[in-house]
């Protein structure tokens, strides 16, 4: 028996040593900040485009402040994480990081000094990025203006504030390794998969997460959450009433809106804004890959979409009145609100993106949950500054809670042919009170985007 316990003890020690060896990462020596002249201009420009794919600015820039200087509060279910300064400032940024240190951060999620990074930095995706692309990203970031800005300390409870713990998370959920081509697929598909799964990290928002904050592999791209918005499913569960095709998705990503799918809103507006820097070929590759993930739509869905198209073609305005809209029902009140508050734009003759979408086409109204509909009704779509953009006034001050619920019930029934969302009222209350935080962004102005935050610095 004694021998057994000694055996167990040895096993425990071996496991601890093994985990320690796995978890411990050496520091990589600091370097003198490299000179701009040491980087090839073409490489820097390539890095600029890649940084747009990665949407780096979205987290690493506080709106209205210096680009890439970090300090943005990123709320997570575990606490608040503040984004790091990735300008080449030697004291507070990555000025003393060698290319090897940068490459390791991308591939393994480890800081130059050997600390593990939180998966709020999507290294589970960035691990797929090629050495060649990391080289270009490094060249781009190291040639930005250095900004001295120390970010606030993260607000995380014990033991999550101990970075060693993150090695355990990685052991469970992280698979290190560059992207490997799927030989059975086309070059364009592979390019799309590389961008979507790697630097683009679409799944970071569009895939649901488990209790420990890791993406659920079995629900890949099945719809997740971002900054208070539902990130819709990009697989077969897509709620778009007209199924997305390569061409419509290409147009949506290229211009930030598409006539049968509406205008990008919330954090997605920033993404499409940033994608503006990509060549058409890359956008097309992304569309090819994502549409392959959606698969062919079911025959019923195709039939319904054809019916919607047919009805829209003959529709000359007019408000659909569902059967349930007998006097006094929630939907009857919803009809009235829709007619006075929504129809002037959403049932008008102005085409998108400046006219409102016909709700028959709205993935938001057909979505499984009410969150995005609530966000848009309350906060609208703020105007982009200094350019023409879609705009919608928010109705937070105009509509009472019950009135919003009535409106949503009507929209669901009349336009999506679905019952009202059961959790609309509770979610609405939490959104209104600020308990559930929502970031509201201009439609295409991308306030943290390259034009506004001086990524050309």
Partner 1 sequence: MVKLNVNGASHDVDIDPATPLLYVLRNDLKLNGAKFGCGLGQCGACTVMVDGKAVFSCLTPVMLVEGRQVKTVEGLGTIDEPGPMQQAFIEQQAAQCGYCIGGMMMRAQALLEAKPEAGDADIRQALEPNLCRCGTHMRILRAVARARDLMKSKSAGMAPAAATRRAS
Q: Residues in the site for partner 1, rule: CB under 8 A?
A: 333, 335-337, 339-341, 344-345, 391-393, 395, 397-400, 403
Q: Which is nearer to partner 1, 286 or 399 (CB)?
A: 399
- Asked if 22 and 166 count as a contact pair (C-beta separation under 8 A), the reply is no
Q: Other CB atoms closer than 10 Å to residue 322's CB: what's the count? A: 18
Instruction: Report the C-alpha gap between 155 and 128 in whole angstroms.
Output: 29
Query: CA nearest 127: which of 86, 179, 53?
Result: 179
Q: Other CB atoms closer than 10 Å to residue 417's CB: what's the count? A: 12
Query: CA nearest 213: which of 284, 123, 287?
Result: 123
Residues 6+ away with beta carbon under 8 Å from 38: none
Q: Which is nearer to partner 1, 403 or 452 (CB)?
A: 403
The nearest distance, CB 355 to partner 1, in angstroms, is 10
The nearest distance, CB 399 to partner 1, in angstroms, is 7
The nearest distance, CB 388 to partner 1, in angstroms, is 12
Q: Which is nearer to partner 1, 311 or 398 (CB)?
A: 398
The nearest distance, CB 336 to partner 1, in angstroms, is 4
Reading phi first (left if > 0) and then psi (alpha if -120 to 50, else beta), residue 259 is in: alpha
The nearest distance, CB 402 to partner 1, in angstroms, is 10
Q: Which is nearer to partner 1, 23 or 336 (CB)?
A: 336
Q: Which is nearer to partner 1, 31 or 336 (CB)?
A: 336
The nearest distance, CB 270 to partner 1, in angstroms, is 20
Q: Which is nearer to partner 1, 43 or 341 (CB)?
A: 341
- Asked if 47 and 141 count as a contact pair (C-beta separation under 8 A), the reply is yes
The nearest distance, CB 148 to partner 1, in angstroms, is 25
E strand or H helix at 283: helix 280-294
- Asked if 343 and 319 count as a contact pair (C-beta separation under 8 A), the reply is yes
- Asked if 383 and 389 count as a contact pair (C-beta separation under 8 A), the reply is yes
Angle, CA 8 vertex, CA 5 and CA 9 arms, to 5°: 90
Q: Which is nearer to partner 1, 35 or 327 (CB)?
A: 327
- Residue 303 has what DSSP assignment? H
Please provide the size of the chain in residues: 457
């Amino acid at each position: 028996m004694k021998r057994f316990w000694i055996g167990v003890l040895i096993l425990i020690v071996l496991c601890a040593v093994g985990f320690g060896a796995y978890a411990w990462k050496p520091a990589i020596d600091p370097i003198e900040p490299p000179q701009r002249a040491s980087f090839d201009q073409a490489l820097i420009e390539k890095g600029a485009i890649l940084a747009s794919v990665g949407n780096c600015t979205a987290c690493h820039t506080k709106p209205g402040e210096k680009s890439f200087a970090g300090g943005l509060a990123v709320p997570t279910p575990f606490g608040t994480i503040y984004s790091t300064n990735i300008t080449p400032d030697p004291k507070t940024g990555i000025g003393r990081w060698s290319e090897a240190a940068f490459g390791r951060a991308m591939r393994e999620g480890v800081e130059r000094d050997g600390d593990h990074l939180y998966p709020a930095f999507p290294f589970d995706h960035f691990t797929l990025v090629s050495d060649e692309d990391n080289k270009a990203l490094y060249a781009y970031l190291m040639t930005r203006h250095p900004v001295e800005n120390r970010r606030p300390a993260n607000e995380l409870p014990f033991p999550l504030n101990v970075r060693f713990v993150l090695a355990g998370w990685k052991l469970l959920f992280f698979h290190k390794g560059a992207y490997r081509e799927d030989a059975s697929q086309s070059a364009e598909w592979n390019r799309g998969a590389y961008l979507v799964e790697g630097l683009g990290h679409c799944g970071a928002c569009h895939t649901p997460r488990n209790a420990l904050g890791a993406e659920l592999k079995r629900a890949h791209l099945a719809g997740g959450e971002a900054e208070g918005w539902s990130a819709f499913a990009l697989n077969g569960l897509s709620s778009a009433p007209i199924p997305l095709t390569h061409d419509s998705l290409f147009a949506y990503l290229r211009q930030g809106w598409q006539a049968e799918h509406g205008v990008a809103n919330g954090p997605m507006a920033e993404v499409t804004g940033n994608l503006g820097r990509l060549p058409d070929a890359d956008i097309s590759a992304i569309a090819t890959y994502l549409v392959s993930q959606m698969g062919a739509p079911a025959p019923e869905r195709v039939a319904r979409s054809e019916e919607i198209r047919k009805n829209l073609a003959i529709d000359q305005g007019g408000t659909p009145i569902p059967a349930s809209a007998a006097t006094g029902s929630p939907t009857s009140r919803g009809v009235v609100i829709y007619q006075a508050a929504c129809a002037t734009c959403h049932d008008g003759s102005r085409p998108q993106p400046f006219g409102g979408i016909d709700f028959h086409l709205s993935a938001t109204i057909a979505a499984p949950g009410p969150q995005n509909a609530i966000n848009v009704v309350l906060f609208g779509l703020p105007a982009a500054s200094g350019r023409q953009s879609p705009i919608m006034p928010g109705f937070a001050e105009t509509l009472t809670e019950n009135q919003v619920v009535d409106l949503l019930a009507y929209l669901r029934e009349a336009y999506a042919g679905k019952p009202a969302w059961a959790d609309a009222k509770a979610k609405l209350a939490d959104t209104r009170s600020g308990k559930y935080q929502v970031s509201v962004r201009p439609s295409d102005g991308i306030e943290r985007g390259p034009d506004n935050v001086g990524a050309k610095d």
